[in-house]
Chain A
Amino acid sequence: MAINPVPDHVPPEMVRDFSLFTSPGMPPTPNGDPHAAVACAHDGPPIFYSPYNTQDGRGTWVITRAADQRKVLQDAETFSSHRSIFSSILGETWPTIPLELDPPAHGAFRSLLSPLLSPKRVTALEPAVRERAIALIDRITASATSCDVMKDFAFPFTVSIFLRFLGLPDQGLDTFVGWAKDLLHGDDVERPVAARKIVAFIDELATNRRKDPVDDLMTFIVQAQIEGRRLTDGEIRGIGVLVFVAGLDTVAAAIGFDLAYLARNLKDQELLRSEPDRILLATEELLRAYPPIQLIRVATKDIDFEGAPIRKGDYVSCATMIANRDPEEFESPNTVDLAREHNRHAAFGYGPHRCLGSHLARREIVIGLEEWLARIPTFRIKEGTAPITCGGHVFGIENLILDWS
């Protein structure tokens, strides 16, 4: 894995030994708290250069302030999101859609997909989401007073909701979770293998739905028109891959971090259990404290941004977990306050690429917490176990064994 040298235009005093991949707390760590670990970014200058800050070892500018991240992410013309994050794993350059398209091309695809994940549509999905959560938790409590939350609840819950959305049967669940894990957290051999499997799967699904249409997302995509024409095979693949990857890992990780927090903070756990009306607001605070995503943009031109000499082609990192710990934006940012109001956190990004699935993600987390707290008595991290956390492009948690015996 090559580490690019620091470019000449970056002043040496702006380079900092900081990385979402290699800094303390970022590699797999038992009982880690990677979100708290990256809050140290605020001890230094508001913008700096990290020589190693992407999965493939590239350097990026790091924007720490929420206000500056807003400026970057709202200005898609200067800060493009087309960086082929998925296809580059295969040595290719096609965009995932709509994420890696810039305006104006972005708009038509975004409008095509937005109604499918609008607040109203998500409200209609709610009964099915709740039913799924209850079924999974009832299955757990029927036979045990302890479980591996990620394996037994967070992944099966979020992935099955999303498979239903895509129109796929639950049987594929373990396979898909395995692909996502290899893609996001695997090594240089596992990642391209997983990427190839996902592409082949999406391509085959598109072919099948073209032949035999059913009532699901892929059928909608293969039949859809933008600007008076059908979508190309490449566009269909770009959408399918994005929806697949975006839905697999992020919400499960958020639920995992949230339940780990509640397992370690029994007062907050009891508060939400006894007053479930607080869960809606508390979810916003948990999204602020434990968001899983780093956003990266590419400069389309030279720009001096808040004192940083950013040059065309430079990568610019807007890590949501760093913005969400900005002391200029949030009072006592490192304190989790489940009653925090006016919580304009960055968990779903800013600007035209605001997470398309944000409304569904929110509902899944709220419903997951509501049903978990309603059905599981006081739970703790199981004695003798240690959840393993990791930083990276998508923060994650595994081996989260909860016990309520």
Chain B
Amino acid sequence: MRIIVHNAKCQGHARCWAQAPDIFKLDDDGYILPGDIQVAEGEQLLASQGARSCPERALEVDRTSAARFEPAAMQPRTGEA
């Protein structure tokens, strides 16, 4: 699973971070860091809850199979990172 981050829509509510601070990382202003988020196995529920908490609809859950092995999305930004 992958979370697609629409940075232009993020307004710093930080509700995703409040749900899952290890998955959704913020900059010093409190806005989400750029780049889609590859979600580790076992953190999918927490990640999708975090995405669903965004008042601006800036986070999109991508459950397509491509999301699992698209190399560009494999950034070290999962919960373990």
Q: Kindly list chain A residues whose C-beta atoms are within 8 Å of the C-beta of B52.
A: 342, 344
Whether B70 is near chain A, meaning CB under 8 Å from some CB there, is no
Question: Is the Cβ of A344 less than 8 Å from the Cβ of B29?
Answer: no
Whether A358 is near chain B, meaning CB under 8 Å from some CB there, is yes
Interface 1/0 per residue, B37-57 and A, CB below 8 Å: 000000000000100111111
A60 to chain B, nearest CB (A): 23
* Known interface pairs A119-B14, A120-B28, A359-B14; A344-B9 also in contact (CB < 8 Å): no
Question: Is the Cβ of A352 less than 8 Å from the Cβ of B17?
Answer: no
Whether B11 is near chain A, meaning CB under 8 Å from some CB there, is yes
Bound-state CA distance A70–B11 (Å) is: 12
Per CB-CB distance, the 5 closest pairs between chain A and chain B, nearest first, are A118-B30, A114-B29, A354-B11, A344-B55, A119-B14
Q: Which residues of A contact B (CB under 8 A)?
A: 70, 74, 111, 114-115, 117-120, 342, 344-346, 348, 350-352, 354, 358-359
Question: Is the Cβ of B30 less than 8 Å from the Cβ of A119?
Answer: yes
Q: Kindly list chain B residues whose C-beta atoms are within 8 Å of the C-beta of A114.
A: 12, 29-31
Question: Is the Cβ of B56 less than 8 Å from the Cβ of A350?
Answer: yes
Question: Is the Cβ of A115 less than 8 Å from the Cβ of B28?
Answer: yes
Whether B63 is near chain A, meaning CB under 8 Å from some CB there, is no
Q: List 30 A-B contacts (CB under 8 A).
A: A70-B55, A74-B9, A114-B30, A114-B31, A115-B29, A115-B30, A118-B30, A119-B26, A119-B30, A120-B26, A120-B28, A120-B30, A342-B49, A342-B52, A342-B53, A344-B15, A344-B52, A344-B53, A344-B55, A345-B55, A346-B55, A348-B13, A348-B55, A351-B11, A352-B11, A354-B11, A354-B13, A358-B13, A359-B14, A359-B30
User: Could you list 5 further interchain pairs (A-B, Cβ under 8 angstroms) beyond the known A114-B31, A348-B55?
Assistant: A70-B55, A70-B57, A119-B18, A119-B30, A350-B55
Q: Kindly list chain A residues whose C-beta atoms are within 8 Å of the C-beta of B18.
A: 119
Bound-state CA distance A344–B49 (Å) is: 12
